[in-house]
Amino acid sequence: MVQPGTLYGVGVGPGDPELLTVKAARLIAEADVIAYYSARHGRSIARSIVVGLLREHHVHEPLVYPVTTEGTDDPAGYEGVIRQFYDDSAERLAVHLAAGRDVVVLCAGDPMFYGSYMYLHERLAHRFPAQVVPGVTSVSAASAVLGRPLVERDEVLTILPGTLPAEELARRLADTDAAAVLKLGRTFDNVRAALADAGRLPETWYVERATAERGRHAPLAEVTADEVPYFSLALLPSPTSAATRDDRPAPAPSSGDGEVVVVGLGPAGPRWLTPEVARALRDAEHLVGYGPYVDRVPVRPGQSRHVSGNQVETDRAAHALELARGGARVVVVSSGDPGVFAMASAVYEVATAHPRFADVSVRVLPGLTAAQAAASRIGAPLGHDFAVMSLSDRLKPWPVIETRLAAVAAADLVLALYNPASASRRWQVGAARDVLLRHRDPKTPVVVARDVGRPGETITVTTLADLDPESVDMRCLLIVGSSTTQVSTRGDGSTVVWTPRTYPG
C-alpha cells in the first residue's frame, strides 16, 4: 500500500515574496507537485510570487479557469461550469495524492480568505491528509502600504465583496467604522457608487497589488474604472487614525454652510438604528441632545458633544442652530423618531422664529418609533387605523387632552399613548382611563410596554378596566385597542394582540 501524499493549501501573501512565511517556503521547496490557478494565458499571480523557490523536481499542475464572459451550454450556467472545473481539478490532484506525492496548492493572500483553494479542500480533505498554511491577506497588506491602522480600540471592521448590489454595499458601508471592499475590477463603478451613497467616498483609498512591484495606491475618488484590475481593493481605514493625519482622504471640510440634522436613534439599541442615521452621526462635528440619548452614541475622536437636561428643548435647538450658523455640521439626537414628540419640531420652531437662522439648513432623518417597536413585541395591535397622543400636559392643557381622548375613543381608533406618567405626573393615567371607559368596553385590551428593546423590557397585556395607573411610568408606552382588537393565545402558549385590517359595517 502506498502512503498517500498530503495536500497543502499554502498562502503566499499579497505579492512581495519576502512576505512568505517560513513554513510556506519550506513546504514549497519540499513538495512533489506545485498546483496553481491561472487564466488561459497561463500566467499565475500566486506562482509568480514564489518563482524563486521552484525547482526542477517539481511537477507543475496549472489549474486553468474557464472563461467567465462566454456563454455556456451547461443547464446550471456558469455556476455549473465552475463547479465542474473544481471537480475536475480536485481529481487531477487526487491522482498525485493517491500515488504518495505531496501537493502544494499556491494561493495568493490567504487560502481561506476568498481563496479558490477552499473548493479543493472541501473536495479532498476527507480523502487525504490536508493542511492549510495561512498567508498575509490583501487587506493587511493594503493597511501596511498605506501606513495606517485598519481598526483601533472598539471599532468594527467590515469585509465586503464588491459583487454585492450597490444598495446593500451602501447600507453596510454606512453602518461600520472601517471597511475593505474586495473583488473590484468590473465591480468598480458599483463599489464607487455605493461608497458615494454611503457618504464614505472621500475617505476611501484605492490599493492595487499591495506590496507587489507594480502596486499602487491613491484616493479612490481619483481612480477611473478602466485602470482597475481584479486584484485591487477599496479600503476605509480606522477613522480614529484618519482623524490625526493630514495626508488622508477625508470628508470635505466644512464649506461654511453649516447644517442641522435631526435624527432618531430608535427606541433602544444599535440594531434599530438606520444606516442613514449612523452615517449622519459619524459625519457630525457636534452632537446635541438630552444627556441619556447622547450617551447612546459611541464617542468619536474630534467630535464635540453638547448634553443638556430634559425640558430644555428650545434652548437645545437654539444652540444647535447657532453652531450650524457658524458653519458646523450638527446632529441633534432624539430617541425613537425625531418628528414624533421629539426634537424636530423644537428645531423648526426656533429656526422659523428667529431671522438669523433663516438660511441654516435643517434636515430630519426618521427613526423607528416607540409605538412601532412596542406593537411588534406583542403582535400587530396597530393593524388598522390608529391615533398617537402624548399624555403630558406640560405643553398643552389637560382639558385639551381630555377632549382629544374622548374623540379618539368615540371614533373607535386604536390609541398609542406616549409620556403617560412621570415622577411629577401621577394622576393622568387614571384620568385618561376614566375618559376612555366612557366610550370603550371595559374588556378592551391594553398593552403596557416598558423599556422596549432594553435589558429590562416587559410587555404586559391587561384590560382597560384593570389598568393599574401605579404600574405605569415615563419608561412605558400604552397601546389601547379598539372594539375589533383581538387577544389570542398561540400554540406555544404565547399571547398576541392584533387588530384586523377590516372593519365591520
Residue 424 CA, distance from chain mean position: 40
| Residue type present at position 398 | W
The reply to whether 7-136 and 371-498 are identical in fold is no
Give dist(CA 142, CA 158) in Å, integer: 15
Class of 139-242 in CATH: alpha beta
pLDDT of residue 254: 44
Cα separations (Å) of 108 from 44, 113, 115, 266? 9, 10, 8, 44
- Helical packing angle, 188-197 and 166-174, nearest 10°: 40
In what helix (H) or strand (E) does residue 491 lie, and over which residues does it extend? none
Give dist(CA 350, CA 367) in Å, integer: 22
CATH of 371-498, one of 3.60.20.10, 3.40.50.2000, 3.30.950.10, 3.40.50.300: 3.30.950.10
Q: 3-class SS at 317?
A: helix
Annotated domain spans of the chain: 7-136, 139-242, 259-365, 371-498
Cα separations (Å) of 69 from 32, 62, 77, 81, 84? 34, 21, 11, 12, 17
Is 3.50.50.60 the CATH classification of the domain at 259-365?
no
C-alpha cell at 291: 444627556
- What phi and psi values does residue 483 have, to the nearest 5 degrees? -70, -20
Residue 206 CA, distance from chain mean position: 22
**Averages of pLDDT over each 10 residues, the chain, 505 residues:** 94 95 96 93 90 94 79 68 94 97 96 95 97 96 94 90 91 89 93 90 93 91 89 90 53 63 90 86 92 88 88 93 95 95 95 94 95 96 96 93 96 96 88 95 96 91 95 93 96 95 92
SS3 letters for 94-106?
Answer: HHHHHCCCCEEEE
Q: 3-class SS at 160?
A: strand
The CATH number that domain 7-136 falls under is 3.40.1010.10
Please tell me what DSSP assigns to residue 336.
B
DSSP assignment of 410-466, as one string? HTT-EEEEES---SS--SHHHHHHHHHHTTS-TT-EEEEEESTTSTT-EEEEEETTT
Give dist(CA 264, CA 372) in Å, integer: 13
pLDDT of residue 282: 84
pTM of the entire structure?
Answer: 0.64
Burial of 110 per CB tally in 10 Å (0-12, 13-18, 19+): buried
